[in-house]
Structures are given as C-alpha cells and as structure tokens.
Amino acid sequence: MIEIDRITKVYDDTTVVDEVSMTVETGTITVIVGTSGSGKTTLLRMINRLVEPSSGEVRINGEVTRDIPTHLLRRRIGYAIQGHGLFPHHTVARNIAAVPRLLGWPKDKIARRVDELLTLFGMEPAAFRDRYPAELSGGQQQRVGVARALASRPDLLLMDEPFGALDPIIRGRAQEDLRAIQQKLGSTIVLVTHDMEEAIRLGDRVGVMDGGRLVQHGPPEEIVARPANAFVAEMVGDAERPMRLLSLIPVRGLVEPGAAGGDPVPEGASLRDALSACLWTGRDAVPVERGGAVVGRITLDAIRGRVEHRA
C-alpha cells in the first residue's frame, strides 16, 4: 500500500502540487489525470524522489520514503516515462536487465527474467533480445520500456504518459496489454495521463488534478456519474458521459433469460459494445454467450435503464 500524505511542492512562490493525499492499494492501478501543467509529473516524481517534496510524506507499506537512500528507493520503484528513455547503446536484453544488474542478481536469473518479460509482452526473445532500441518500432520500444520498469518485480510501478507517443490503435493494444499484465503479476501502478478516456479504461481509481490540487479521487464510475465540480465534468465531457459509463459496465450483470436473433456478444463485453451491436444491426436485443454457448440475452431497454438509473 502506498500512502501519499499531504504532499506539497513549492517552486519559488508557486505551489505546483498542493497538499495532495491519496492511498494506492496494493495490486491496483491508480490513474492521475489532469490538464497540462496541473502538477501530475511533479506528483509522480515526488514518489521516487526525483523531486524532493517541500512538505508532506510518502509511505510505502508503512515505510517513510524520506528515510530510504534515494538510489535504493528508486531500485524498488519501477519508472517508465514517455518516450521510454531506453539506453540506445545497450541491447534490449541489457536494457531490461538494468535494475536487476544494479541489484546484483546472478546472470542466469537475469537472463531468465529477460526472456520471461519479452514473452509476456509478445516479443519473441530470440528475435528481440540482441537488438538495439533503434532497431525497434515505437510500440516495441514502449513495451521494452515498461518491461524494464517491471524487471525487478518492484513494489510499485510509476508510469508517466507511457502511451503518449503511440498511434491510437497501438495505444489501445498497449493499454489492454498493460491491464492483462498487471492482473497477472498483481502489480501496483500509478499512471499519469492527460487523457480521460485512458484513465477510465485503465484505472481502478482515478485521481483528477487541477492547478496542483487533487479535486476528485475515486472509482471511474463515480468520476463519470458524479463529477465533483465543473472542471471534472468538463474533463469527462458531458456529451460523452453516458457512453463512458456504458463502457465501464460489463454485459454480465444485465443478462436476462430469453432468446434473440443474430450474432451474440461475449458476457465480458461492455454495455457500450452491446449497445453498438443493437444499433448497428437494428435489433432490440442481442444474445449473450459465455465460452461459446448462449446464456441469455441483453435488451436495449435494460441498457437504457442502467444509464438512467445511474444519472
């Protein structure tokens, strides 16, 4: 568990991060979202002390970070930044191995970990291990950057706009991969973005920052359904709200018995997917399947009811 306790950063006379407190539970993703200059990066960098807080403290599993020597603290915290920051003069394997090497892991353990991570990120170890970063696509560089940050199984992974440089399709895939890998490894992640869509899609918790203050912090459903103020409402985008909400709710909960015609949707799909299946094929209900077998149907009325109920 990471506890951020009234942490503040003041440069000269400007307060860049203003008494931000939040708790990040182990094994969850917290996404910090806000406009440019709202203090997101500064907040993130105070966690691994690349920026020293002016006041307040951060505790990792109860341990105050101020009391840990910075280089040791940073070796426990994975850090992935926009534009990946890979070492151009080291191979992919050596890049991923960076922190394990600093920690003095034995060679064979490092080699196994490198291959394991490459496989996890869908990059054939034999084909990628010995390449240099310049010999990878942008998306592959990004994945190696995240793999490097995860290599030593850190207590915490900090990610600063890790997908900012990717095109929308690769970006969507990278987000799904991150979600899957996080669930598999049980990692604790704090991720910074200025994209509310990304925040809602990835976060177990979303924190919205404005002018250095944390103006709302909660599950994404709550941010979408009950924005704390006009700024958050604007970030969420009023017109988009129903769709955003639908994209957060799985079909599973609204399945009812009965038959419907046409292609089925999986029960893990979102209500947004179900709605779009209805609209696209002009149906009032679509069948729902689990593991290839139809288990019931979901109706347009039920979807509408769910959104109205929330609003």
Partner 1 sequence: MTAGGVLRTALSLLLVALVLWPHAFAPVFAPFAPERGPVIYDRVSLLSLSLSHLGLVAAASSLAALVAVTLAILVTRPAGAAFRPLSRTLTNVGQTFPPVAVLALAVPMLGFGAWPTLVALFLYGLLPIFENAMTALSTLPPRTLEAARGMGMGRFQRLWQVELPLAAPVILAGVRLSVVIGLGTATIGSTVAARTLGEVIIAGLLTNNTAFVLQGGLIVGLFAVLIYDALVRLEARIARRAGAGSARAG
Residue numbers of the site for partner 1 (CB under 8 A)? 48, 50, 70-75, 79, 81-89, 98-99, 102, 132-135, 145, 148-149
DSSP state, residue 55: E
Contacts with ligand ATP by CB under 6 A lie at 11, 16, 34, 36-42, 194
Nearer to ligand ATP, 12 or 108 (CB): 12
Please count the helices (runs of H) and the strands (runs of E) in the chain. 14, 13
Q: Smallest distance, Å, CB 242 to ligand ATP?
A: 27
Q: Smallest distance, Å, CB 197 to ligand ATP?
A: 15
Region near Mg ion per CB under 5 A, out of 40-48, 177-185, 217-225, 270-278: 40-48
Nearer to Mg ion, 159 or 288 (CB): 159
Nearer to Mg ion, 23 or 35 (CB): 35
In this chain, which of 28, 30, 38, 41 binds Mg ion, going by CB under 5 A?
41
Q: Please name the residue ranges forming H helices in 69-137.
A: 70-76, 92-96, 98-102, 107-120, 125-128
Q: What does 56 bind: Mg ion, ligand ATP, partner 1, none (CB cut-off 5 to 8 Å by kind)?
A: none
Nearer to partner 1, 86 or 275 (CB): 86
Q: What does 182 bind: ligand ATP, Mg ion, partner 1, none (CB cut-off 5 to 8 Å by kind)?
A: none
Query: Residue 19, by phi and psi: left (phi above 0), alpha (psi -120 to 50) or beta?
Result: left
Q: What does 39 bind: ligand ATP, partner 1, Mg ion, none (CB cut-off 5 to 8 Å by kind)?
A: ligand ATP
Q: Give all strands of the β-sheet with 189-193 in edge-to-edge order.
A: 77-81, 156-160, 189-193, 29-34, 205-210, 213-218
The rounded distance, in Å, linking the Cα atoms of 11 and 212 is 12
Q: What does 36 bind: partner 1, Mg ion, ligand ATP, none (CB cut-off 5 to 8 Å by kind)?
A: ligand ATP
Nearer to ligand ATP, 42 or 140 (CB): 42
Nearer to partner 1, 135 or 301 (CB): 135
Q: Smallest distance, Å, CB 75 to partner 1?
A: 4
**H/E element holding 308?**
helix 300-310
Residue with the shortest CB distance to ligand ATP: 41
Contact positions vs Mg ion (CB under 5 A): 41
